[in-house]
Amino acid sequence: MGTSQRLANLLDSAVHTPAARGLASASRELTGLLLPSLCVLCGERDGAVCPGCAPHLAADLLQPFRAERDAAALPLRFTQPASAPVPVVAAARYGGEASRALLAFKDHGRTSVVRFLRPAVYRALGSVPELLGIQGPFTVVPVPASAAGFRRRGLDPVEELLGGPLPPGWTVARGWLAHRRRPLLTAPRHRTSHAGTGSRQRRSGSRDRFRPTRRLSAEAAEAARNGGRSVVVFDDVMTTGSTLAATWLALEHGGIRPAGAVVLAAVTAPGSVGDGGLNSGWGTY
C-alpha cells in the first residue's frame, strides 16, 4: 500500500470518528458565524433576509388567520352549540418562509432576522379585535422561556418578537408567570382503552408547567380597579397548543381569564386555513 493510499484510508476512517463528526458540526456552526450576512432563506445573497426573499417572507406573513381548529391540546371553552378550543390568531402557517426565518432567528443565532418578523407580530396583534371580536385595551402575556432554552440561545425569542412597536392600546405584561421548579411527571398515571380520552389527558397533563407570580396578583388587582383589559397570550409557534394551554391555565389560576392567544406560526392541517382570514373567503389554500 502506497503512502498516498494509506493516507486516504486514514482520512477515510478519521471522518467517521465521533471526534471528527463533532469537529464537522463545530465547523458548520463556525461557518455560520463567519458568514452571518447571507440570507437565511436563500443562503446566497447578502442580508439577514435579502431583498429578493423579503417579499416572499412578507407575503407569507400578510394575512393573520384563526388557527385553533387543528390544535388538539388547547383548552376548551364552553360555547353553544358545542365546546370549542379557545381562539388563536396566527400570523403564518408553519412550514413556509416565516417558519424558516423564525428557526434561523431562534435556533441558529440569526438575531437580526427578528426585525423582519416583528411587523407580522404587530399585524397579528392588530387583527385581534376583528378576528376574535374582542375590544382593547389589551395586555399581551408572553409564554415564559425555560431557563435551559434561555441559556442555550442567549435570548428569549418570544420577548424579542414582542420587542418592537405594538399596536395602539397594547402593553406587554412581563413576569406574570414562572416555570414551576419541580420536574414534570411524564408517565401517564394509567392507560385507558377508551377512545377519545387522549386529548383530554393531554389537556390536563400540561396544566402545571407554569405558575402565577406575585407580580401577576398585584398588577391584575390594579388593572381590575382601573377597568378591564383584554388579556391575550403570545407564543412564537403553536403545534398542538399544549404550551398555550399551560399558560392559559396558569393565568386562570392567577385569577385572569385570557380572551385569546396570538402566535407567529401555527401548524395547520392541509386545507384547514382559509376561513376567518382578514381578506379571504373559503378555499384560498
Under the rule (CB under 5 A), what is the footprint of Zn ion? Answer: 39, 41-42, 45, 50, 53
Residue with the three cell numbers 352549540: 81
Q: Considering the complex, what minimum distance in angstroms separates the CB of residue 141 from Zn ion?
A: 34
Q: Considering the complex, what minimum distance in angstroms separates the CB of residue 116 from Zn ion?
A: 11
Q: Considering the complex, what minimum distance in angstroms separates the CB of residue 42 from Zn ion?
A: 3
Q: Considering the complex, what minimum distance in angstroms separates the CB of residue 46 from Zn ion?
A: 9
Task: For residues 28 and 128, give the distance between their C-alpha atoms in angstroms, rounded to a whole number.
Answer: 41
Considering the complex, state which of residue 42 and residue 224 has its C-beta at the smaller distance from Zn ion.
42
Q: Considering the complex, what minimum distance in angstroms separates the CB of residue 41 from Zn ion?
A: 5
Considering the complex, state which of residue 65 and residue 116 has its C-beta at the smaller distance from Zn ion.
116
Element (H, E) at 230: strand 230-238
Considering the complex, state which of residue 58 and residue 223 has its C-beta at the smaller distance from Zn ion.
58
Q: Smallest Cα–Cα separation from 280: which of 17, 41, 65? A: 65
Task: For residues 239 and 162, give the distance between their C-alpha atoms in angstroms, rounded to a whole number.
Answer: 20
Considering the complex, state which of residue 41 and residue 140 has its C-beta at the smaller distance from Zn ion.
41
Task: For residues 15 and 19, give the distance between their C-alpha atoms in angstroms, rounded to a whole number.
Answer: 8
Task: For residues 109 and 155, give the distance between their C-alpha atoms in angstroms, rounded to a whole number.
Answer: 9
Considering the complex, state which of residue 7 and residue 42 has its C-beta at the smaller distance from Zn ion.
42
CA angle (47 as vertex; 46, 53 as ends), nearest 5:
90
Cβ atoms of 99 and 237 within 8 Å: the answer is: yes
Q: Considering the complex, what minimum distance in angstroms separates the CB of residue 146 from Zn ion?
A: 31
Considering the complex, state which of residue 13 and residue 31 has its C-beta at the smaller distance from Zn ion.
31
Considering the complex, state which of residue 53 and residue 128 has its C-beta at the smaller distance from Zn ion.
53
| Count of residues in the chain | 285
Q: Considering the complex, what minimum distance in angstroms separates the CB of residue 185 from Zn ion?
A: 45
What are the backbone angles phi and psi of residue 274, rounded to the nearest 5°? 145, -35
Q: Which long-range contacts (CB under 8 A, 24 or more apart) does 225-231 make?
A: 229/136, 229/137, 229/138, 229/139, 230/134, 230/135, 230/136, 230/137, 230/138, 230/139, 230/259, 230/260, 231/138, 231/139, 231/140, 231/141, 231/173, 231/256, 231/257, 231/258, 231/259
